[in-house]
Amino acid sequence: MASGPEVASSYGSMQHEELSPAVWDARRRTLALVEDLSDEQLFGPRLNIVNPLLWEIGHVAWFQERWALREALGHRPMLENGDELYDSSAIPHDVRWDLPLPSREQTLRYLLQVRDQVREQLRAERYSKDTEYFVRLVIAHEDMHDEAFILTRQTLGYAALKPAMPTGGVACASIESHDAEVPGGGFSLGAAPDVEPFIHDNEKWAHSVEVRPFRIAKLPVTQREFARFVDEGGYQQRSFWTDEGWQWRVGAAAEQPLYWRGSKHGWERRHFGTWVPLEPDWPMVHVNWYEANAYCRFSRRRLPTELDWEVSAAAMPDGRGGLAPGKRRYPWGNEPPTPDRANLDARAGECVAVAALSAGDSAFGCRQMIGNVWEWTQSTFHPYPGFSADPYKDYSQPWFGTHKVLRGGCWATRSRLIRNTWRNFYTPERRDILAGFRTCAL
């Protein structure tokens, strides 16, 4: 059996009694996201940006079994043909609708059986420090798929989630200037080995870089601001688009953002299965990298690099015109996310206004760098110096050079998943994801 990467943590390793509730909570969330859907909805139409949900929830259970039981502890497979059904590295996307999938009842039973096996092993304390890595891996994997289930519900126009914290109760605070002034200096980009109890291979390892001074928007671009780009013909003006971006726009016949439509009262957007008036002060969401970049050209701005983003979120001024040593785990400090700092965990069931959650501001006054919407960066996804793939080798390595980096998480991201060093990545044409952006001065 394989060993997971050993990662020491100044925040303390999860003990077995803490890991087991996290396993339970992740599975509870998975089940809650599909329990109201019909068998027909669980199968869904054949699209290139979503999986059949019946396949995907089975994949979540299989992945947990594959790494937390089979790889970590040497267990035999629970399903005779599980690898042939659920191994996403081996099964092309297009054929997942054609597989002889187990029924809904069988799939849900498999989800519970695997969960219970993992928790039984945790109760028996048979996990070493090394193999705890695999439990953390499957929790993170399930949390990410739960976010994907929410995207699927939006893509297919299924019912919205019931919010635990309605957005009307989220207070907004004024913010003085458009840009934060970030000084230059030395900075350590990436994750340090003595900080996080679990990190992905693409965050390894922290390495010294030199930062030049720059100015970055304190707030994400709003729907009101993006509507001006649309209304002034931004989708029709070739000069705002890269060659690849224009090719995408023409091929997709994109004249406006995904899920937008005009009405006699102005722009509306589709929120899951319902059309609602555009919320002007909410962050722009469901735009791809090409659209974000075109808006920046229209505004005579640019997208931040991922270095710009992480410095703005994690660094601190030294009081002498430079950057102080060290970095923060989150924009506001090292304490875990709370509802007054970040819109996470699908509590609100949607975005909140960009002026909300001032308690989550970074040291430079940048707001909502964690939660609400993922933020596109200018950067192409590449490995950090000295990269070495972790045991789950297909997480990062196959996507280097073809994807763009996003940072910060969104309202559907689990709070235990996100941190300043987290690197998400998607191809630049994807606009179904809960992604927006902020801009930098040229």
The tally of domains found in the chain comes to 2
At residue 200, the pLDDT reads 97
Q: What is the pTM of this model?
A: 0.95
* Residue 2 counted as domain residue: no
Residue 252 located in a structural domain:
yes
How far is 154 from 39, CA to CA, in rounded Å?
17
Q: Are residues 201 and 136 in the same domain?
A: no
Question: Which pair of structure tokens corresponds to residue 393?
Answer: 């080798």
Residues in contact with 263: Cβ distance below 8 Å, sequence separation at least 6, in sequence order: none
Angle at 202 between CA 199 and CA 73, to 5 degrees: 50
Mean pLDDT of the chain: 94
Instruction: Answer yes or no: do 88 and 184 share one domain.
Output: no
**Order of strands, edge to edge, in the sheet holding 214-217?**
179-182, 214-217, 440-441, 301-302
Q: Is the pLDDT of residue 16 over 90?
A: no
pLDDT of residue 6: 45
What's residue 5's pLDDT?
60
Per-position b or e across 420-434, b if 16+ CB within 10 A of its CB: bbbbbbbebbbbbbb
Block residue for tokens 């059949």? 52
Average pLDDT of the segment spanning 392-403: 97
Asked if residue 239 and residue 171 are part of one domain, the reply reads yes
Mapping DSSP to helix (H, G, I), strand (E, B) and coil, where does residue 327 land? Answer: coil
Q: What is the CATH number of the domain that holds 336?
A: 3.90.1580.10
Of 106, 129, 155, the position where a domain reaches its end is: 155
Give pLDDT tens digits for 328-342. Answer: 999 999 999 999 999
Same domain for 276 and 419, yes or no, is yes
| Average pLDDT for 188-209 | 95
Name the percent of the chain lying above pLDDT 70. 95
Could you read off the pLDDT of 130-162 as tens digits, one per residue? 789 999 999 999 999 999 999 999 999 999 988
Encode pLDDT of 91-103 as tens digits. 999 999 999 999 9
Residue 30 φ/ψ region, left for φ over 0, alpha for ψ in the -120 to 50 degree band, beta for the rest: alpha
Which residue range(s) make up the domain with 42?
16-155
Q: Look at residue 10 and tell me if it is in a domain.
A: no
Query: Same domain, yes or no, for 149 and 193?
Result: no
Angle at CA of residue 248, ends 245 and 250, nearest 5°: 110
Asked if residue 404 lies in contact with residue 426, where contact means CB atoms within 8 angstroms, the answer is: yes
Backbone angles phi, psi at 155, to 5 degrees: -55, -40
The predicted structure's pLDDT at residue 169: 59
What is the predicted pLDDT for the residue at 18? 81
Q: Are 128 and 168 part of one and the same domain?
A: no
* Boundary (domain end) residue, out of 155, 172, 204: 155
pLDDT tens-digit series, residues 262-314: 999 999 999 999 999 999 999 999 999 999 999 999 999 999 999 999 999 99
